Amino acid sequence: MAKEKIVVGMSGGVDSSVAALLLKRQGYDVIGVFMNNWEETTPNGACTAVEDWNDVRSVCDLIGIPYYSVNFAREYWDRVFSYFLSEYRAGRTPNPDVLCNREIKFKAFLDLAMELGADRMATGHFVRTDGEGHLLRGPDPNKDQSYFLYMVHADQLKKAMFPVGGMTKAEVRAIAEEAGLPVSRKKDSTGVCFIGERNFKKFLADFLPAQPGAMVTPEGAEVGRHDGLMYYTLGQRRGLGIGGCGDGRSWFVVGKDLSKNRLIVAQGEDHPLLYSTRCVCTDVTWVAEEPPRGEPFRAACKYRYRQQDQPVEALWEGDRLTLTALSPQRAVTPGQSAVLYDGEICIGGGIVERVLDAGQAPDA
């Protein structure tokens, strides 16, 4: 009987490396594929993806599996990065990782895996799934990545495997070290999906022209200048460059006035304009079963990654999802994802389009 063929998306990091190792040990026919999705060179002319590709090659050679590199740079630009730029241009704060998973890892890469004759694909995500295509949280709350995968549908999840999804990060590193993998102590990647760590302000300025303007209080008094609305996000404290007014309270971004190119700031981390209970989401995705339209239901919500679950009442009408939190939420940000859960199951979510009632008093 032929072995089941699994194509593993390998980034050069420890998680995907251990995923490939475990599948190999379990007797699958494993192929490693490195996705090169961002073409850029350093000032010295060295491709920034070379180190990761070399790590993939070293790991695959060690565990004894074939490996390939595939270039999805055009797909990444067209399906992810162009959206990323348009959102910043509109004054919002996008989360490209959720779109990257939908468009690249679970679309372009999944299609490639099937073309290679694979039975399933695998990644190093810290999530779990079941035979019905439900998306389940990873057991380690500090590493659970279901928030970033809520745009993936059940039919895609049925073709996916998450070999490290039920582990903690410490367990993954221990397996890598025991096996002698050269990436066992490699630092986790951070920053924009497939682009990585960099001076984000300078990076964004290379693609979007900055338009400096006034920094004003909610009452309209000018208190400083901003470098461009795209550089700021709701709730931001650092980098504003505004001195205190003698009372020791810090300044925070509480809003943006795009029509007048003004950044609205206020003092105090508990300023009412930072708090709201209701928001409207668009680009709504349901992982498996779609809830009935027009019928309110209760769920747990994360308005940002690693946030504690927040109880909400959700209403799915037309193509919009309205969320009403049972307590005021701080800095719910247009462009970010609001992701819903029913216990351990991630049921879906949407992109926050607008906040309906900023100015709620925070809980005492």
What is the dihedral sign for C-alpha 211, 212, 213, 216?
positive
- Catalytic residues, by residue number, are 100, 193
Pairwise CA distance, residues 134 & 76, whole Å: 26
How far CA 83 is from CA of 30, 103, 122, 322, in Å, comes to 34, 12, 26, 23
Half-sphere exposure (CA, 13 Å, Cβ side) for 65?
29
CB 319 within 8 A of CB 336: no
Nearest-10 crossing angle of helices 14-25, 50-63: 20
CB 32 within 8 A of CB 66: yes
Pairwise CA distance, residues 45 & 128, whole Å: 40
Pairwise CA distance, residues 160 & 112, whole Å: 13
Pairwise CA distance, residues 111 & 357, whole Å: 42
Helix, strand, coil share of the chain (percent; to 5): 25, 30, 45
